[in-house]
Amino acid sequence: MDAPTLVGSLGVALLLLAFFLSLFKFIAQDGFAYIGMNIAGAGLACWSSWMIAFVPFIVLEAVWCLVAMAALAKRVCTPQAQAS
């Protein structure tokens, strides 16, 4: 298996795992696990697309990664309500 395929497969696996875990309520969509898997998965998929010079997916995965990073920044900077 070549490097772009290996990197891309790992990235897509992380994205799909995050989707599955969120869909079946194992993790929260605004939680660090979901956001982290999206950042890592999209980043790896973007890198894989870069290695094969497939521009449409470079753009898709880069935007996905940036949006997930924005969600992480929002999550870190927004105070969470404390349960009493």
* Contacts of range 75-80, beta carbons closer than 8 Å, 24 or more positions apart: 75/30, 75/32, 75/35
pLDDT in tens, 30-75: 999 999 999 999 999 999 999 999 999 999 999 999 999 999 999 9
Coil vs helix vs strand at 19: helix
Coil vs helix vs strand at 46: helix
Q: Which residues, 6 or more positions from 36, have their beta carbon under 8 angstroms from its beta carbon?
A: 72
pLDDT in tens, 17-42: 999 999 999 999 999 999 999 999 99
Domain boundaries of the chain, sorted by first residue = 3-76
Q: What is the DSSP code (8-state) at residue 9? A: H
